[in-house]
Amino acid sequence: MKSETDMIDRIEAYLRDEMNAEERAAFDQLRRQHPGIDHQVVAHQTLMKQFEDYAAQKKLMADMEDIHASLDIARIRQEVMPEPGMVVSLWKKYQSIVSVAASVAVVAVVGTLLATGTLFNKNAHSDYNALRREMSQKINNIARSQNALIRDIKKPANSTVNPGEYGGTGFALTANGYVVTNYHVVNGSDSVYIQNTEGDSYKVRTVYVDPAYDIAILQIIDPAFKAYRSLPYTIKRSSSDLGENVYTIGFPRDEPVLGIGYLSSRTGYSGDTTAYQVSIPVNPGNSGGPLLDNRGNVIGIISGKQTQTDGAAFAIKSSYLLKAIQNIPQDSLKEKLSLSKKNTLAGLSRTDQIRKMQDYIFMVKVY
Amino acid sequence: MNRPIKRSFPEDKGFILGILNNSKETLDELYRTYFPVILQFVLSNNGDEDDAKDIFQESVIVLYNKVKSGNFELSSKLKTFLYSVARRLWLKRLTHQSRNTSNISDFEEIIPVENDIEMHEERDIQFKKMEQALHQIGEPCKTILEDFYMNGRSMQEICERFGYTNADNAKNQKYKCLQRLKKLFFQGTNQIEYEK
């Protein structure tokens, strides 16, 4: 056994040209004398060549996936396949006539308003204001009664069901029940449950935590959980650009809440390079929620915000999530953790994206 | 419909050099410059965006292998080559799905690429064989070999990651994995199951 591993070491050194002249000559001699060894060298060389080709192609494929994820396919599609529909062609044909007609209409309307004095009539304005005041008052009343209602519902519920000590947000990482959230959400927990938007809750176990990146990987261990067919979103490998429009869905209340914003800095709290700064409204409970770009790629995980500063929330970069996943010791994974490679959200409107996505986002309840 | 894409095409020579140097910027630029061309072709010929992505990426693999084997002569434009390969691959796929391949709308000139496609198919068989063999040796073998030979991690790192007590144990494990891979790869020719 020992001699065989040694032989492989020697073959590898030989093929990588790491031997000195003397060793090399000795090894060449050995090859000539023992056809068995010669055969081994050739076989090893072939295998390594194939393995390298395989590795290179795999890398190329992964890089291309990356680039593809960063493209705006819908826009390119528009560019190469202009589909002049009927409306467009009609517009082109009658554009000049329409604009003449429109200007005539504008002149006529403004002229009439000027002539009748409506345009500068103060009374018209005060009427308008009064109307608005009334409306807003009504809304306030409704809101107040609603608040009262919510409180009423909440009180008895609290006395019977333990809602958990802390809460956060998490989202599905794979179709077979791996979920990711923040480490600080599950830190020090006795047991953790997650609840989807339908209200079904599942027990999860903590598979892996990475306190440095503030990431925790959970796995659903509830027999009631049925694996998804596939996930609609992918996790972006490359970093995102400043100014990119982003949104998140989280559970600062018992209902999923949408927050929309933009990426405001490439580094997080006091220059932390593992995080982005995002200008987005988030509240306690949003931690662990996915940060998505317009194409439905997960680009980060919401992790916190700065208290003394307006509009500075932070999100861990998705590349560090991938790094954390890579670092999971293989034997702590009971099932394969294979990430989704197909994004079916790109090109959809935001409402459609959210509708498709909300089944994969969970409230994390920690006891 | 037959509208050429207006876009300036950067120097092919630069691309070739970049490919040889494994430059990621080159790949990025190549992708952004030529993907629209293939997207237009596939969309106009009964395909969707996903088809275009598959076909384009496969064509890029063909191009990379050709350039890296030193066979690429700049007798034709890079665009023409990619377009011809993608066109051939797409027609093949259409025929395979017994879909209509008459009335192909073309946007670029075409050069014969049959040899390249044939070579690519042979390589693809080897690739699938390796993928299959790696799949069969299972964990932790797959990751150990990938870490050592592909990701260039040291034996010590692997030892820590997989919790072996010392580097010698890890080395033994790596040796066993390599032997199994060798066996599976060289005998595995007729047992390939394609996973799709």
pTM of the entire predicted model: 0.53
Task: Say if strands A234-235 and A297-305 run parallel, antiparallel, or are unpaired.
Answer: parallel
Does A221 contact B at CB distance below 8 Å? no
Residues in B touching A1 (Cβ below 8 Å): 172
Residues in A touching B131 (Cβ below 8 Å): 54
* B87-106 pLDDT, tens digit each: 989 988 888 877 666 677 77
Residue B8's φ and ψ, nearest 5 degrees, are -90, 135
Chain B: closest CA distance from residue A114 (Å): 50
Nearest by CB to residue A8, choosing from B27, B28, B178, is B178
Residues in A touching B186 (Cβ below 8 Å): 43, 47
Residues in A touching B149 (Cβ below 8 Å): 48, 51-52, 55
Nearest alpha-carbon partner for A210 in A191, A188, A182: A182
- pLDDT for A219: 92
Q: Which residue of B has its CA nearest to A328?
A: B161
Residues in B touching A81 (Cβ below 8 Å): 40, 43-44
Helix (H, G, I), strand (E, B) or coil at B23: coil
Residues in B touching A53 (Cβ below 8 Å): 123, 126-127, 130
How many helices (H) and strands (E) in chain A? Answer: 9, 13
Mutate to test the interface with B, among A12, A15, A47 (most CBs of B within 10 A): A47
Chain A: closest CA distance from residue B92 (Å): 21
Cβ atoms of A340 and A228 within 8 Å: the answer is: no
Q: Which residue of A has its CA nearest to B53?
A: A68
Q: Which residue of B has its CA nearest to A342?
A: B50
Query: In the CATH hierarchy, which fold is given to the domain comprising A166-366?
Result: Thrombin, subunit H (2.40.10)
* A217-248 pLDDT, tens digit each: 999 998 888 888 888 998 988 888 889 999 99
Residues in A touching B40 (Cβ below 8 Å): 80-81
Distance CA B150, CA B144 (A): 10
Burial class, A131, CB count within 10 angstroms (exposed 0-12 / middle 13-18 / buried 19+): exposed
Beta-carbon contacts below 8 Å between A and B: 95
Cβ atoms of A317 and A193 within 8 Å: the answer is: no
- pLDDT for A132: 32
Chain A: closest CA distance from residue B14 (Å): 18
* A103-143 pLDDT, tens digit each: 888 888 888 877 776 555 444 433 322 233 333 334 444 44
Per-residue pLDDT band for A172 (boundaries 50, 70, 90) equals: very high
Kindly state the average pLDDT of the residues B57-76. Answer: 82
Predicted-assembly ipTM surpassing the 0.85 threshold: no
> What token pair was written down for B112?
């014969």
Inter-chain CB proximity B40 and A47 less than 8 Å: no
* A33-42 pLDDT, tens digit each: 888 888 888 8
Task: Report residue B180 CA to chain centroid gap.
Answer: 25
Q: Minimum mean pLDDT among A314-323, B38-47, B147-156: which range?
A: B147-156
Inter-chain CB proximity A60 and B3 less than 8 Å: no
Nearest alpha-carbon partner for B96 in B129, B128, B51, B43: B51
Residues in A touching B24 (Cβ below 8 Å): 63
Does B157 contact A at CB distance below 8 Å? no
If residue A69 lies in a helix (H) or strand (E), which one and from where to where? helix A35-70
Q: Which residue of B has its CA nearest to A56?
A: B150
Residue with more model confidence, B44 or A166: B44
Does A64 contact B at CB distance below 8 Å? yes
* B138-189 pLDDT, tens digit each: 878 888 888 887 777 777 887 877 777 777 777 788 888 888 888 888 876 5
Does B64 contact A at CB distance below 8 Å? yes
Structural domains of chain B, ranges and CATH numbers in brackets:
12-112 (1.10.1740), 116-191 (1.10.10)
Bridge partners (DSSP) of residue A171 are A180, A361
Does A62 contact B at CB distance below 8 Å? no
Residues in B touching A348 (Cβ below 8 Å): none
Kindly state the average pLDDT of the residues A81-96. Answer: 67
Mean pLDDT of chain B: 79
pLDDT higher than threshold 70 for residue A76:
yes
DSSP state letters, A114-178 = HHHTGGG-HHHHHHHHHHHHHHHHHHHHHHHHHHHHHHHHHHHHHHHS---SEEEEEEESSTTSE
Sign of CA dihedral B6, B11, B16, B17: negative
Inter-chain CB proximity A5 and B150 less than 8 Å: no
- pLDDT for A204: 92
If residue A13 lies in a helix (H) or strand (E), which one and from where to where? helix A2-15
Q: In chain A, where are the structural domains located?
A: 2-70, 130-160, 166-366
Chain B: closest CA distance from residue A67 (Å): 6
Does B106 contact A at CB distance below 8 Å? no
Residues in A touching B3 (Cβ below 8 Å): 82
> What token pair was written down for A186?
């599950």
Q: Is the peptide bond before B140 cis (omega within 30 degrees of 0)?
A: yes
Q: What is the 3-state secondary structure (H, E, C) of A277-301?
A: EEECCCCCCCCCCEEEECCCEEEEE
Residue type, B94: L
Inter-chain CB proximity A329 and B161 less than 8 Å: yes
Does A334 contact B at CB distance below 8 Å? no
Residue with more model confidence, A191 or A79: A191
Give chain A's length.
367
Kindly state the average pLDDT of the residues A1-7. Answer: 68
If residue B51 lies in a helix (H) or strand (E), which one and from where to where? helix B49-68
Distance CA A64, CA B18 (A): 15
